[in-house]
Amino acid sequence: MNPHQRKLSRAGVAVAAALALSLSAAACGDGGDGGSDGDGDKINVGIKFDQPGVGLKTPDGSYTGFDVDVATYVARQLGHEPGDIVWKEAKSADRETMLQRGDVDFIAASYSINDERAKKVDFAGPYLLAHQDVLIRADDKSITKPSDLNNKKLCSVTGSTSAQNVKTKLAPDAQLQEYGGYSECLTGLENGVIDAVTTDDSILAGYAAQDQFRGKFKLGGFKMSNENYGIGVQKGSELKARINSALEKMVSDGSWDKAVQKNFGPAGYRNEPAPKIGTIAK
């Protein structure tokens, strides 16, 4: 190769290197929408919008509850600040579809792990062991065990399986009342029209912790079922392992206990210890 050719060759290498560098810089600076793993990217999270203490959208447009605190902690461990989170309502009947369609990155919405759901989505966790329970008036001494619900007016929401479970398995003579929402059940309980309200103890504790109900109700503590709350992700998603690591850290650094006390403490909720990741209570 003559000197003139060597100069041309070196010039070509320099141009190629400069082009590669500029392309690399452009790629690094691209904020795009193509992922949820970097700072500044949005992350879509499904929660309940109508469960005080668990997942609630407040009138001022903010979000509160235990699931919200768990999801916010997890998102931060995945590299997202609270302002990066796009909260989406995950109604019970829609959760699997939302994950399968990719509408959300993960769902934390009082989402009990069971075999049927696990065929369609993957679960990180569990992060809370809840139980079906009843809420009664604070001064009620007549209901101390599930069978005491016989001949009592038992309320749950229309279409719920919770009240049916009590009526078929534990108190066949309970007088089942179905209302449109748990708030209506609690109003009935407060006014003496209803004797007990049943669903997951975490949900009951969240309602009872609201300012207008504080001190008026108590949980029965009956533990009529095990409800393992998990964080739902798409089948095969690598987020499952990363979320499990985040949940383990949340427990170890004390943030989990703080979230329980903050959201359920006012109702006297005797929560189970944080469950071991991957261990499902039957």
Digit-coded pLDDT (tens) for 129-161: 999 999 999 999 999 999 999 999 999 988 777
Q: Which residue has the higher pLDDT, 1 or 174?
A: 174
Count the neighbouring beta carbons within 10 Å of the beta carbon of residue 156: 24
pLDDT tens, position by position, 226-245: 999 999 999 999 999 999 99
115: burial class by Cβ within 10 Å (0-12, 13-18, 19+)? Answer: exposed
Query: What six digits make up the tokens of 268?
Result: 């006297």
| Reported confidence tier of residue 35, pLDDT bands at 50, 70, 90 | very low
Tell me the average pLDDT across 41-59.
Answer: 95
> 3-17, 142-156, 173-187, 259-273 — which one is most confidently predicted on average?
142-156
Does 2 score more than 70 pLDDT? no
Q: What pLDDT is recorded for position 40?
A: 53
Q: What pLDDT is recorded for position 88?
A: 98
Q: What pLDDT is recorded for position 155?
A: 95
DSSP string, 157-220: ETT-SHHHHIIIII-TT-EEEEESSHHHHHHHHHHTS-SEEEEEHHHHHHHHTSGGGTTTEEE-
* CATH class (in words) of the domain with range 43-130+228-267: alpha beta
Q: What pLDDT is recorded for position 37?
A: 43
Does 225 score more than 70 pLDDT? yes
**Measured between alpha carbons, how far is 196 from 198 in angstroms, rounded to an integer?**
7
Q: What pLDDT is recorded for position 17?
A: 44
First-to-last C-alpha distance (Å) of the chain:
78
Tell me the average pLDDT across 47-55.
Answer: 94
Q: What pLDDT is recorded for position 201?
A: 94
Of the options 3.40.190.10, 3.30.70.20, 3.90.470.20, 1.10.238.10, the CATH number for the domain spanning 132-219: 3.40.190.10
Tell me the average pLDDT across 84-91.
Answer: 96
Residues 6 or more apart whose Cβ sits within 8 Å of residue 156: 162, 163, 176, 178, 179, 182, 185, 197, 198, 199
Does 38 score more than 80 pLDDT? no
Tell me the average pLDDT across 190-200.
Answer: 96
Closest C-alpha among 124, 52, 42 to residue 88: 42
Q: Are residues 77 and 235 in contact, defined by beta-carbon separation less than 8 angstroms?
A: no
Give percent of the chain with pLDDT exceeding 90.
Answer: 72
Residues of the chain with CATH 3.40.190.10: 43-130+228-267, 132-219
Q: What pLDDT is recorded for position 157?
A: 86
Does 34 score more than 70 pLDDT? no
Q: Are residues 47 and 109 in contact, defined by beta-carbon separation less than 8 angstroms?
A: yes
Does the pTM exceed 0.85? no
Q: What pLDDT is recorded for position 189?
A: 97
Count the neighbouring beta carbons within 10 Å of the beta carbon of residue 117: 17
Does 10 score more than 80 pLDDT? no
